[in-house]
Structure 1
Amino acid sequence: MPATPAWPPRSAPRLFVAPPLAAGQAVTIEGNQAHYLARVMRVGEGDAVILCDDATGEWAARAISVGKRAVVLDPVERLREREAVPDLWLCPALLKKDRFDLVLEKATELGVAAIHPIVTRRCVADKLNVERARTVTIEAAEQCARTALPVLAEPVSLDTLLRDWPAGRALFFADELGGEPAQAAFKAHAGSAALLVGPEGGFDDAEREAIRAHPQAHPISLGPRILRGETAAIAAMAVWMASAGDWT
Structure 2
Amino acid sequence: MRGLENKVAIVSGGATLIGAAVARAFVAAGARVLVADIDDAGGQALAAELGPALRFQHTDLAVEAEVEACVAAAQAAFGRIDFVVNVAAVYADQGPATTRDEWTRSFAVNVIGPARLVQLACPHMAPGSAVVNFGSTSAGVAQAGRWAYPATKAAVLQLTRSQALDLAAAGIRANAVSPGWTWSGVLDQISGGDRARVEAVARPFHMLGRIGDPTEVAEAVLFLCSDHARFITGANLAVDGGYAALGPEQGLTPILELLS
TM-score over 0.5 (shorter chain): no
Which of structures 1 and 2 has the larger relative contact order (alpha carbons within 8 angstroms, sep 6+)? 2
**Structure number with higher helix proportion:** 2
TM-score between both structures, scaled by the size of structure 2: 0.35
TM-score between both structures, scaled by the size of structure 1: 0.37
**Structure number with higher strand proportion:** 1
Higher CA-based Rg: 1
